[in-house]
Structure 1
Amino acid sequence: MMAAVVVAVAVVDQLVKTLMLGWLEPGQPVAVIGDWFRFTLLFNSGAAFSMGSDSTWLFTCIQIAFVVGVAVAAPRVHDRWTAVGLALIAGGAAGNLVDRLFREPAFFVGHVVDFISVGDFAVFNLADSAITVGVAVFVLGMFFGEQAGEHPDGVDEDATAPADTADDNDAEGEEPARA
């Protein structure tokens, strides 16, 4: 399931970016809901809010490491909240990673295509939204996810463990007291 979410987020992100690149002119806002919601095509070499614009290579490395890390960890993730959260984050990272690897100005240091502008907030894209929602889901899962010892399919793991056959009064390694 995680792989499907990662791929779906990355593919949808890239398809929408391609549509926006064909439709929008860089820096020319297109009002959708007045000045509050508009499309504005920008190319971001940095991270959120264009921070670290001189460190594009570092963000590329971080995104590669995260996507690979999630792929390696995925088989061991059993909590649904964690799985969905990590998959959304990895899908968003993968969508932006494609930009960094294959867009101008060069391989590995490409600029991310951003186009969603809400109010006076930063301009972002669908991959960024998936990352934000994924972090929220992951954090919510820490508080409301499956409880320890409960298997995600509803089976209590403790209930399937072999019962302890020792007398409850027995201390480990000691003989029971005789009357």
Structure 2
Amino acid sequence: MGGRRSRAQGRPRLYGWMIALAAVVLLVDQTSKIWAVSALSGGERITVLPRLLELRLWYNPGAAFSFGTGATPVFAVTTAIAVAGILYAARRLRSAAWTWVLGGLLGGAASHLLDRLLRSPGFGRGHVVDFIDYGGLFIGNVADIALTAGCALLALLTLRGIPLGAEPGDERP
């Protein structure tokens, strides 16, 4: 009976950690976008690693690789559904590793949703601020890094068979 009680107490703690991680991702992403808009809006480019990484401002109306540029409202709705789905799924959260996955995904998705809702050209049609240019292959932002890392860890946990509701200690090293 004591084990059942400690597991129940662990769920709210992990949920809280997931929310905290999501908040950090959202804060860092939005702060970095504020910086990018102020520092790079005149067409400036900052080379970080020649031919590999530079900073330049891009307003993305679409999804990854500017796919679906005419479907910005659809992306806003889809992202809102994803945020709600992550929050719903996280109610079963009992795994530290899944806490990282869901926190990164939630923070990245919530930050993109804020861009879609609050940025120009208008509510539900806003463009996502991208500014990290990866050698001309694509341009992203901090939220994209969190989303990519979250998806990679999600795939790893799934391949290893670690469920979202795994008991503490069930995670394999």
SS in 2 for 1:32: strand
C-alpha contact 2:58 2:129 (8 A) present in aligned 1: yes
What TM-score do you get using the length of structure 1 for normalisation? 0.79
Q: What are the superposed Cα offsets for residues 86-127 of structure 1, whole Å, 9 maximum, x if unpaired?
A: 221111011111111100000111000000011131100000
Change (3 A) 1:55 1:42: same
Q: CA RMSD in A?
A: 2.1
Compare relative contact order (CA 8 Å, sep 6+) and give the higher one, 1 or 2.
2
Aligned counterpart for 2:143 among listed residues 127, 148, 154: 127
Please identify the structure whose Cα radius of gyration is greater.
1
Greater CA drift, 142-151 or 76-85: 142-151
Aligned residue identity for 2:118: F
Gaps of 5+ in 2: 1-16
Moved over 3 A (4+): 144-150
Task: Give identity over the alignment, percent.
Answer: 36
Gaps of 5+ in 1: 156-179
Aligned counterpart for 1:79 among listed residues 54, 76, 95: 95
Q: Supply the distance in 1 between the matched residues of 2:87 and 2:164 (Cα, whole angstroms).
A: 23
Aligned counterpart for 2:48 among listed residues 20, 28, 32: 32
Following TM superposition, by how much is the alpha carbon of 1:78 offset from its aligned partner in structure 2, in angstroms?
1.6
Greater CA drift, 19-28 or 62-71: 19-28
SS in 2 for 1:141: helix
What TM-score do you get using the length of structure 2 for normalisation? 0.82
Change (3 A) 1:41 1:142: same
Q: Supply the distance in 2 between the matched residues of 1:150 and 1:135 (Cα, whole angstroms).
A: 18
2:68 is the counterpart of 1:52? yes
Aligned residue identity for 1:111: H
* Higher helix proportion: 2
